[in-house]
Structure 1
Amino acid sequence: MASIDLNSDLGESFGTWTLGDDDAMLSIVTSANIACGFHAGDPRTILDTCRAAADNAVRIGAQVGYRDLAGFGRRFIDMDAADLMADVLYQMGALDGLAQAAGSAIAYVKPHGALYNAIVTHREQARAVVDAVRTYDPTLPVLGLPGSVFLDEARDAGLRTVAEAFADRAYTASGELVPRRSEGAVLSDPSTVAERVLRLVRDGTIEAIDGSTVDVDAESVCVHGDSPGAVDMAFAIRKILFDNDIDTKAFV
């Protein structure tokens, strides 16, 4: 049976501010990209999310990002590579400690937000992230956008690379994500999103925002936990895949 990993960004609540429904998402997805405290998440939230992930046998990924709580990690920061490497290393260690306290451990690494987008083309920052992962644990896979310099650098460094697609984000004709502030960048209709994922898994293609067809070879599909109707979209995706004899299974 064919299979695909379904991942989501979780653990992003902060103090009394609640974002998304992590418990519901963890009953659906197979991998959880958990915030590490730099772009979102506080220690209690992160620990609780790790515990819930462990209880649901969901793999835990370190979602590392810029130190940008105010901007939710969605603002590019032009920082020294050595500083970025240390920041990413710090985040991995912090999340792994909480994950282990919850009876699990980090199983992969996925950059967040502006950092994720930057290292599609920013080779120096891509290398900094790769250096951090390799220093912490060279057996950890990394998630990234197909065709990104980040995945190229990771592959050259001997890391396992996992190409990722996005269920709830629009694509440009060149295969990059449409900037969030652009009209139509974020999708929210469960049936539309589910059909897109089915096409992706079956055919390896997705429709770009201009109507053209983009080739996307992905092992994992992301539904953002903070997207409107995230739980309904994740459920619709899992159902349509099940109905078409496609399993949802963690890639690691």
Structure 2
Amino acid sequence: MSIPAFGLGTFRLQGQQVIDSVRTGLELGYRHVDTAQIYGNEAEVGAAIAQSGVPRSELFITTKVWIDHLATGKLLPSLDESLSKLGIDQVDLALIHWPATGDAPAVADYLPDLLAAKRQGLARQIGVSNFTIAHLQQAIACIGAGEIATNQVELHPFLQNRQLAQFAAGHGIHLTAYMPLAYGKVMQEPLLQDIARQHNATPAQVALAWLLQQGHAVIPSSTRRDNLHSNLAAQTLKLSSADMQAIAGLDRNERLVNPDFAPAWD
């Protein structure tokens, strides 16, 4: 099962705010919803899904296993708890949210548990998030590239992660871009504004289309209905090769998500 290219992110959204965002998104046509254990909103996401009336068969739901649950014996129970909060029997995609701090435990210690979650039916697909090339190499050695549905990473015009993207592509590993609008910074970028004017679009639509045309999935988030609706239009925006090349020139390795437990980035 492929990962829908356009999804709805829920990072930093809490309580009624996340319920409203997800319900609105589903009403507008979003069918891919991304959450995580550490977001503290799985129950609210589940409530919004239940209230929406959209059949489960039409939805693609992703959650991510937090680093505290990577130790032996903790991963599967944590996923069971996530399913309970979400009110579903199975997620479509379960990801390791971050490699373990200091690589303890090692990738080879916890990825077999994630694979077991898939085989037990807790997740239809599995993958990783915030994995570097070195971590991907370990993951491939452990469970094989074919089991890694995606690597969800920060990716936007100002952080293009080219080495990682090239490595992933070379091994047939799909990328999902989180923070695709760089916390809204894309809206202030003159080049993106200029390209947007040429296409009668918004800078956000241009940034999203740029990612989509490279074959990546995107999971922007918003609490505003007009932004949720506008972002969807990126799916029909076709950028020229000149546009794509110009945006490629915006790369400045500007990483916005870099907690103290992050790995050594490529």
AA matched with 2:237: I
Structure having the higher helix fraction is 2
Partner in structure 2 of residue 82 of structure 1: 71
AA matched with 1:201: L
**1:196 is aligned to 2:207:** yes
Please show how residues 34-53 of structure 1 align to structure 2 within 5 Å.
34-36=35-37, 38-41=38-41, 43=43, 45-51=44-50, 52=52
Partner in structure 2 of residue 130 of structure 1: 111
AA matched with 2:139: A
Q: What's the TM-score, normalizing by structure 2?
A: 0.54
Structure 1 residues 41 and 98: CA distance shift in structure 2, 3 A: closer
State the 1:30 CA deviation. Answer: 3.5
Please show how residues 94-173 of structure 1 align to structure 2 within 5 Å.
94-99=81-86, 101-102=87-88, 105-112=90-97, 115=98, 118=99, 122=103, 124=105, 126-127=107-108, 129-138=110-119, 140-144=125-129, 148-156=133-141, 157-158=143-144, 159-164=147-152, 170-171=158-159
Report the RMSD for the aligned CA atoms in angstroms: 4.4
Render the CA deviation track for 1:154-188: whole Å, top value 9, x for unaligned: 33313233244657674166568xxx9xxx94236
Asked if 1 retains the 8 angstrom alpha-carbon contact of 2:71 and 2:110, the reply is: no
Q: What's the TM-score, normalizing by structure 1?
A: 0.56
State the 1:91 CA deviation. Answer: 3.0
| Bigger Rg, structure 1 or 2 | 2
Structure 1 residues 224 and 63: CA distance shift in structure 2, 3 A: farther
Give SS of 1:6's match.
coil
Give the gaps of 5 or more residues in structure 2: 165-178, 188-200, 239-266
Render the CA deviation track for 1:52-77: whole Å, top value 9, x for unaligned: 485372211123325xxxxxxxxxxx
Identity between Structure 1 and Structure 2 (%): 8
State the 1:119 CA deviation. Answer: 6.3
- Out of 221, 224, 248, the residue aligned to residue 224 of structure 1 is 221
Asked if 2 retains the 8 angstrom alpha-carbon contact of 1:144 and 1:163, the reply is: yes
Asked if 2 retains the 8 angstrom alpha-carbon contact of 1:33 and 1:62, the reply is: yes
Asked if 2 retains the 8 angstrom alpha-carbon contact of 1:166 and 1:221, the reply is: no
AA matched with 1:198: A
Return the structure number with greater relative CO, CA threshold 8 A, min gap 6: 1
- Work out the number of aligned pairs and report it: 198
Partner in structure 1 of residue 22 of structure 2: 22
AA matched with 2:78: Q
Q: Partners of 1:53 and 1:152 in 2: how far apart? A: 41
